[in-house]
Structure 1
Amino acid sequence: MTAPDALHPRGPASDAAFADLVRPFERELRAHCYRMLGSLHDAEDALQETLISAWRALPQFEGRSSLRTWLYRIATSRCLNAIRDGARRPPPSPVAPFEAPAPNGDERVTWCDPYPEAAVDPGTAAAERETLEYAFVCALQALPPRQTAALVLCDVLDFSPRECAEIIGSSPTAVKGLLQRARAAMPARGERAPEVAETELAGRLAAAYGADDVDAVIALLSDRAWLAMPPAPHRYEGVAAVAEFLRASAEGRGGRYAVSAAGRAGGHPVFRCVLDGRDRGLLMVIADPSGTAVQGIVRFLR
């Protein structure tokens, strides 16, 4: 690997050397920014700002910490600044083109979008891949920003409290306090449905959803099913509430969605929804642990 000292002079050669130096870290830094911010767009912006800042600051890098730790310090700082500047504020809620029934629940986190499976390192361990699941990232967004940073750095990326303190500009004692509070606030992870079963079930629901066959959709739901529609803050909980909304949507939309499989994102099957030739966002289907019934429907509106 090229030594940082060799990159201090500016020019095409040093540009290429810098790119070679940071390229092995780009994928994991992008995932880190996503966990911090919950938004693919904001994560990409934070990554690009990180790389630009690293390039500008490279002459000051003295190698007292590893290059990886140094890059994470820059990336985490950019993410914390973005949160402070409003990156995690709820975006405007879209107005439904029909008379929607009143929701019986609400979503505190409405800016999350699902991380595409294609962007995940195929060699990443399953435990790390779980930390890009939609529910986990949404739970991170509900934490205070520095707690999010400490939890991600220590529990996801295996930095020590001392290293985490260096990255976020704190002390190991303070980091331990942040970790304790963050861990206590995070919900317990539930069991996951087998991937094959979930994919098959999701395909059946997507077909019924695209055909406005509400009865067929309802037949696939578990008793505790729910439906959310980020960035709208509404949540419909229970089969009756979900059915009421879907019927109102089907009657008021004025056309059927063309629904096509779009792989996996956020740890679950997703489908592209197109209406009148326009991309209307994604449909995510979450199965219950048995893989025999749909537990959650997340309709990412566009």
Structure 2
Amino acid sequence: MTTEDAVSRGRAGDDAAFVEVVDPWRRELHAHCYRMLGSVDEADDAVQETLVRAWQAFAGFEQRSSVRTWLHRIATRVCLTAIERRGRRALPMDLGPSSERSVLGEPTTDVAWLGPYPHGTGDRRPDDRVEGRESIELAFVAALQHLPGNQRAALVLFDVLGFSAAEIADTMATTRASVNSALQRARALVREKVPEQAQQKTLRALGDARLNEIVGRYATALERGDADGLVALLTRDVTWSMPPLRHWYAGLEAVTHFLLDQPLTFAWRHRFTTANAQPAVVGYRWSADDEAFVAFVVDVLTLRGDRIAGVTAFLGPEHVAHCAMPPELPRDEPMNPRP
């Protein structure tokens, strides 16, 4: 079937034809919804709602725009409604200054936390193009969360997905002048918050072999309780945060104090993955009650040169599940080889 044939049959109520029409865009829609909402679970829900609305409205789809444009229009409106209802998502550094010493804090449940975006798990993969990977990086998505919904949508639709100002104005029921104004304000804020060099450029400069060595040394140092080996991998101004914990740490002294007081006192095993198009390590912490290494955290690593400049440790087995990793590892699980 050609696309035109599939559209015609889908408009007539053919479920299989409708799926054929929308499936090529499902992956891109999911990444779009994640950028807008900062949560894999909310992106799942938004894509589902988008497809339900599309199916309900498909009989009236007159192909005045492409299927891609039409679907993104629906998805953007779904996301804007969700943003109005819930507000923006945050990382610990958005909430207050860093802590100078390790703090035993409880999870903060009254904050909508930004979550990681697993890469390489079916429909949850962002665009494989370089610009697609850059626009899913943690710093960029975190910066988007500081924007009002209309500015967030305008920036993502124009700069990431390549829609015209006229198409965006139609999507948001506004004028092209308003879209251009929103773009200008959004770009200014994002420039302030996103490092000049994208992670993708850093990772390409390192090359796979060097990157794998760094990630492997990171996991090995944690598993062996090797503070010196771990600190040697970090920049002097390194940051370490652990949503949903409010406290975070900045600089080698504070981070080292935290590491010695907390992570390096536990037994770990690790699996390697990618999240937000950045290197990531899934951490399993030993549980005497379970007599196994239990899924605990996804560490997303931000590099500067050949050092780790930031660790965003997303606590919770749900993040590990999104990475398509097992919930636990056996007690005899060997220390992981380097990736």
Tell me the TM-score normalised to structure 1 length: 0.86
Moved over 4 A (4+): 89-93
Deviation at 1:101, TM superposition (A): 2.9
SS in 1 for 2:115: coil
Secondary structure at 1:233's aligned position in 2? coil
Q: Per-residue deviation at 1:125? A: 2.2
Structure 1 match to 2:77: 77
CA distance in 1, matches of 2:232, 2:126: 36
Paired positions, count: 284
1:121 CA displacement: 6.1
* Deviates most, 27-36 or 228-237: 228-237
The match for 1:175 is 179
| Paired position in structure 1 for 2:268 | 257
Structure 2 counterpart of 1:96: none
CA distance in 2, matches of 1:40, 1:210: 28
Contact 1:115 1:133 in 2 (8 A): no
Deviation track 1:213-248 (CA, whole Å, cap 9, x = no partner) reads 222211221111111112223321000010111111
Deviates more, 1:188-197 or 1:278-287: 188-197
Aligned pair in 2 of structure 1 residues 34, 205: CA closer, same or farther (>3 Å)? Answer: same
- Deviation string 1:172-192 (CA, Å, 9 cap, x unpaired) is 111001000000101354332
Deviation at 1:60, TM superposition (A): 2.2
Deviations 1:97-138 (CA, angstroms, capped at 9, x unpaired): xx94389xxxx983231341444367x321222111111111
Structure-2 separation of matches of 1:256 and 1:27: 37
Seq. identity, %:
37
Query: What is the CA-CA distance between 1:43 and the residue it aligns to?
Result: 0.7
RMSD of the TM alignment (CA)?
2.5
Which string of whole-angstrom CA distances, capped at 9 and with x for unpartnered residues, describes residues 164-209 of structure 1? 1111221111100100000010135433242423332121012112
Helix, strand or coil at the partner of 1:101:
coil
Following superposition, the deviation at residue 67 of structure 1 comes to 1.6
Given the superposition, is the C-alpha separation of residues 176 and 102 from structure 1 closer, same or farther in structure 2, using an over 3 Å criterion?
farther
Structure 1 counterpart of 2:243: 230
**Corresponding position of 1:270:** 280
Structure 1, unaligned runs of 5 or more: 94-98
Unaligned stretches of 5+ residues in structure 2: 96-100, 106-110, 288-292, 317-339
Counterpart Cα distance in 1 of 2:79 and 2:72: 10
Partner of 1:101 in structure 2? 103
User: How far off is 1:3 after superposition?
Assistant: 5.1
- State how far apart, in whole Å, the 2-side matches of 1:3 and 1:40 are: 30
> CA contact under 8 A between 2:284 and 2:294: conserved in structure 1?
yes
Paired with 2:254 and 2:86, the residues of 1 have a C-alpha distance of: 32
Deviation at 1:149, TM superposition (A): 0.3
